[in-house]
């Protein structure tokens, strides 16, 4: 009879243990029963970068990397990208169900009416250097928000938590646009509550004098890009959000940590790196030499926008974005870097090096080209990733706080350093 358990023999002692298997996992703590001697600490697992460790149970996002499946709360990303709006998807991610008409209206109203930021926040942003990277500005000002809402530290109070969720969801667009305008030396543009979430963000970014007409095609493209980036289960930045949040830090501080994690070029900084890479390659003729460099560099030079820790077949978000690029380019004109990207993709997908390692274009490979065509400077790309990911981070943070299994995050280590030794004074060293 098949049993949901694992039987292991510890060859150091000859003892056999049986561990229950639940949801395809064993509890790592069960292994601690296995001791080589009575004073032994007990067996641990060694898992750098948590590649095979489930750190939580979650009901938010499902990914099957081999099949290229991404679902939010059970709904396939393709259906949400086609039919939903970003705010509706964010509601779904945060609440578990799609909203009724009334719930959607109230949700949209609450977020729209929290878009203003305190004037002191604006003054704080003015203090950044004229050429400050907008992602650095965003992380710092989100952290600063915790000083404006000290009550946010009441993370065990559900009503208080809900208020911070409205605030963060709303103010992130305002801070992002202010950061951009600061780096351009432009006066900050205030939110317009009559516009949609994405429409308002576009006007705060690009409004010059007079009225800003939001292009429905670009507004919809941004909705779709935001939907695609809203959550991606336990990635680096979400783990940072959960890790910092597990100490019961307020959500602004935890979100600032998540933004810092997203800033790295191996995570949310990748779409910026794709554009820089395309510019550096410079022309289609130089692509074969670049591919050769990637292959012989021993991992030092990477084809940015390729590869994924989880997707080993295709990234469903990349497929949606590639299709959408054509619609956007009809309005904005074709991005000249697109031909280079298409050629890079064609060569890489037929090259043994990439095939063997299951390296495919990820979400970042084409998103940067669209953002650039829409008028966003490269520095803003990670910021454009952070805005929608706030909904995912908050949903994961909220779920963690209600999860009775969770405690402050605190991994173990394998210590390989020096044994005990006595201090030697400076003169004798």
Q: Which residues are catalytic?
A: 267, 308, 364
Question: Which is closer to ligand ACO, CB of 23 or CB of 51?
Answer: 51
Q: Please, what is the minimum distance in Å from the beta carbon of residue 211 to ligand ACO?
A: 35
CB atoms within 10 A of CB 183: 19
Q: Please, what is the minimum distance in Å from the beta carbon of residue 42 to ligand ACO?
A: 29
CB atoms within 10 A of CB 337: 19
Question: Which is closer to ligand ACO, CB of 240 or CB of 270?
Answer: 270
Residues 6+ apart with CB under 8 A from 129: none
Length of the chain: 429
Q: How many CA atoms lie within 13 A of 271 on its CB side?
A: 27
Question: Which is closer to ligand ACO, CB of 220 or CB of 302?
Answer: 302
Question: Which is closer to ligand ACO, CB of 289 or CB of 426?
Answer: 289
Q: How many CA atoms lie within 13 A of 123 on its CB side?
A: 3
Q: Please, what is the minimum distance in Å from the beta carbon of residue 360 to ligand ACO?
A: 10
Nearest residue by C-beta to ligand ACO?
A: 307
Question: Which is closer to ligand ACO, CB of 266 or CB of 331?
Answer: 266
CB atoms within 10 A of CB 58: 18
Question: Which is closer to ligand ACO, CB of 189 or CB of 291?
Answer: 291
Question: Which is closer to ligand ACO, CB of 202 or CB of 294?
Answer: 294
User: Where do runs of H (alpha helix) occur along 7-118?
Assistant: 77-83, 86-95, 101-112
Q: Please, what is the minimum distance in Å from the beta carbon of residue 193 to ligand ACO?
A: 31
φ, ψ dihedrals at 193, nearest 5°: -70, -10
Q: Please, what is the minimum distance in Å from the beta carbon of residue 304 to ligand ACO?
A: 5
Question: Which is closer to ligand ACO, CB of 136 or CB of 268?
Answer: 268
Question: Which is closer to ligand ACO, CB of 111 or CB of 273?
Answer: 273
For residue 15, list its beta bridge partners. 10
For residue 64, list its beta bridge partners. 69
CA 136 to mean position of chain CA atoms = 16
Distance from C-alpha of 222 to C-alpha of 197, rounded to nearest angstrom: 10
Q: Please, what is the minimum distance in Å from the beta carbon of residue 339 to ligand ACO?
A: 20
Compute the Cα dihedral for 18, 21, 22, 25 and give only its sign.
Answer: positive
Query: Which of 38, 41, 47 is closest to 15 using CA atoms?
Result: 38
Contact yes or no for 291/348 (Cβ under 8 A):
yes
- Residue ranges in contact with ligand ACO by CB under 6 A: 266-267, 270, 294, 299, 302-309, 357, 359, 362-364
Q: How many CA atoms lie within 13 A of 381 on its CB side?
A: 27
SS3 state of residue 353: helix
Distance from C-alpha of 399 to C-alpha of 242, rounded to nearest angstrom: 9
Question: Tokens at residue 409, please?
Answer: 């995050």
CA distances, 128 to each of 121, 131, 136, 143, 342 (Å):
12, 8, 10, 15, 38
CA distances, 417 to each of 233, 368, 414, 420, 425 (Å):
34, 43, 9, 10, 21
Residues 6+ apart with CB under 8 A from 155: 161, 245, 248, 250, 251, 401
CA distances, 132 to each of 179, 185, 373 (Å):
8, 11, 23
Q: Please, what is the minimum distance in Å from the beta carbon of residue 221 to ligand ACO?
A: 18
Q: Please, what is the minimum distance in Å from the beta carbon of residue 268 to ligand ACO?
A: 6
Q: Please, what is the minimum distance in Å from the beta carbon of residue 258 to ligand ACO?
A: 13
């Amino acid at each position: 009879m098949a049993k949901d358990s694992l039987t292991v023999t510890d060859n150091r002692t000859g003892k056999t243990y049986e561990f229950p298997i639940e949801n395809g996992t064993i509890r790592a703590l069960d292994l601690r029963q296995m001791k080589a001697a009575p004073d032994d600490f007990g067996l641990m697992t060694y898992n750098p970068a948590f590649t095979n460790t489930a750190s939580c149970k979650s009901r938010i996002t499902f990914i099957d990397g081999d099949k290229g499946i991404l679902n939010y709360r059970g709904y396939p990303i393709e259906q949400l990208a086609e039919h939903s709006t970003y705010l509706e998807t964010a509601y779904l991610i945060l609440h578990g169900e799609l909203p009724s008409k009334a719930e959607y209206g109230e949700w949209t109203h609450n977020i729209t009416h929290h878009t203003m930021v305190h004037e002191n926040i604006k003054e704080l942003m003015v203090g950044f250097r004229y050429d400050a990277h907008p992602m650095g500005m965003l992380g710092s000002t989100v952290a600063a928000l915790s000083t404006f809402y000290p009550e946010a530290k009441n993370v065990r109070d559900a009503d208080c938590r809900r208020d911070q969720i409205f605030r963060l969801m709303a103010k992130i667009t305002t801070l992002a646009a202010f950061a951009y305008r600061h780096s351009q030396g432009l006066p900050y543009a205030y939110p317009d509550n009559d516009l949609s979430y994405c429409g308002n963000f576009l006007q705060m970014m690009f409004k010059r004098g007079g009225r800003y007409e939001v292009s429905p095609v670009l507004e919809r493209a941004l909705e779709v890009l935001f939907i695609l980036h809203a959550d991606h289960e336990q990635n680096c930045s979400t783990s940072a959000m959960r890790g910092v949040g597990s100490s019961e830090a307020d959500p602004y501080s935890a979100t600032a940590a998540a933004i810092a994690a997203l800033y790295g070029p191996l995570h949310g900084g990748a779409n910026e790196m794709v554009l820089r890479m395309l510019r550096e390659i410079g022309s289609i003729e130089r692509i074969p030499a670049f591919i050769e460099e990637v292959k012989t560099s021993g991992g030092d030079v990477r084809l940015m926008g390729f590869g994924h820790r989880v997707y080993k077949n295709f990234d469903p978000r990349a497929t949606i974005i590639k299709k959408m690029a054509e619609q956007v380019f009809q309005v904005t004109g074709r991005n000249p870097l697109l031909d280079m990207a298409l050629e890079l993709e064609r060569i890489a997908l037929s090259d043994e090096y990439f095939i063997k390692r299951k390296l495919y274009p990820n979400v970042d490979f084409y998103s940067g080209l669209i953002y650039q065509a829409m008028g966003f400077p490269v520095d803003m790309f990670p910021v454009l990733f952070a805005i929608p990911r706030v909904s995912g981070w908050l949903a994961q943070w909220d779920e963690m706080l209600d999860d009775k299994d969770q405690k402050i995050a605190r991994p173990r280590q394998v210590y390989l350093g020096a044994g005990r030794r006595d201090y030697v004074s400076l003169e004798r060293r």
